[in-house]
Structure 1
Amino acid sequence: MTERPARGESYDDSGRGVSFGVVVSAAVLALIVIAGIIMYANRSSPGPVHNDAGAAPAVSAASGATGFADPEIDLFGRRIDVPNNPAGQPLVQVATKPRSATDPDWLTAAPAGTTEPHGWQRVYGASVPFSTSDGPARIDNGLAVGYSHTPQGAALAAAQITYRLNARPADRDLYVRQVRVTAAQIAAYDKARSDGKLPDQQPERVTRYLVAPDAFQIENYADDLAIVRLAARGPVTDGKQMWAAVRLVMVWEDGDWRLKPTDGAAGHSDYVDSLTGWTKW
């Protein structure tokens, strides 16, 4: 019988050539970067971050480019579209009957369009979701904004913001505008950036593991706060497919969803062996 790896250990899924430990680390990195930027900046390497030969080339979201290049596939053989604008290409929002809290699928419905072409896009190396029903509705100075005030909008924003921040930890505009941080956290973040401890862009050897999560789950929802879980695929262990599940807290503020830094149980991550009760994108 194959033993399940302990948290943080590497588990090589030889059938897919994917290290489960790396996939899990990618999900957990979001919590480290957002909840405690000093923890990330002061990790084992005391010196500044240097771009290596595997770093992604510098890209600009200011070109105004639209449309898509040829699609590619991710580590699990799933389609991933490549927008000409590195910040992403929002999809046309199609007016539908608004959902309400009285609808039986209020917390469980999937946003429209994510299973269609262009529904998952490679943005700065990470796979992020775009819907035709719940946003993001536009790109504003390189940031994906304009999510619906619904559980689906909260789930989309959670995936977008965490994966983008994973891919570009030194993106200050993203950190300040789309993460609900205090003045002290911003000061710590700015110091980490000025000390060169946060990479502008993670190399492809890191971002390739920021794959689309298979499903999401709304644990709790109110007009001002949503607790969202994302499940990223791991290996098959003892004949069971495993997922790394990470919990994220979103707050509705100034007309859009923002990520709230968490610690302890609120930011808990674990493994699950079933997506029963989850919503597949």
Structure 2
Amino acid sequence: MKNIEAEFKKTYRHPVFDVRGVHRADEVLPETDSQQPRHADCVDCHNPHQLTYSNKFAGIKVRRVGNVVSSATKEYDLCFKCHAESANLPGRFANKRSEFALTNPSFHPVEGEGKNTAVVSLLKPYKEKKVNASDVSTISCDDCHGSESASSPRGPHGSMNEHILVDNFSTRDNQPESPFAYALCYRCHNRDSILGNESFKFHSLHIQGTGGTAGANGTSCYTCHDSHGSVDNKYLIKFNQTVVFPNSAGMLKFVEKGIATFHGECYLSCHGVDHNPKSY
């Protein structure tokens, strides 16, 4: 028997033991009151009466539209219950349903296969499009969110990593690059390919900084990419505007100039360098 209680005592966790007496059997989701105390009870994610080994989402009501309440059939349905249209989203967090939408220019392939067909850094068995039976072209929320320990119960109950991540993912600016700093990304993306500039000729310069592997002025993958999806750009490009600012002409955008040769332009200001534009 695995210890589920220990997961809820970790630094980052769903607040099952933090907030009590708030859950109601008749509560309507997504929440419409931004002042409602945030909570997560076991029964928000599990229906102990209908759960089966083959259908762990059985009986979980996830979304009310008018008088109709839909049930979860996929893991992301369950996550969207609280992390999508809720008026009670915490802090800077956004609607995850909109970030993963298949209509976006790019997204991590949770609801379906991705649109970007040239992700050269992918490690096997991951593929942009499934061709062979062994290929993996879609992922689930718990591929990234869950315990940092393989011996723990599966699921996003708790982790020692921020955002309940299965591996470390640093979002800080001005830091040295290392396998640990972006361990989450390197689970699926080849570090040698990224630092070898196979998809973007200035990748290593941005991530490692001017000091190379020993440098301390690199910037996070998060500075240029949103790990869920981008409503504006291909390749998950969405600039972190606490680090990246409009350029001297007031522009903040990425323009793709070629797929096969990975050319583009950036209009922005970052680390004191004006891109008006910087081309590659």
TM-score (normalised: structure 2)? 0.28
TM-score (normalised: structure 1)? 0.28
Larger strand proportion, structure 1 or 2?
1
Q: Which has the larger radius of gyration?
A: 2
Q: Which structure would you say has the larger RCO, counting Cα contacts within 8 Å and 6 or more residues apart?
A: 1
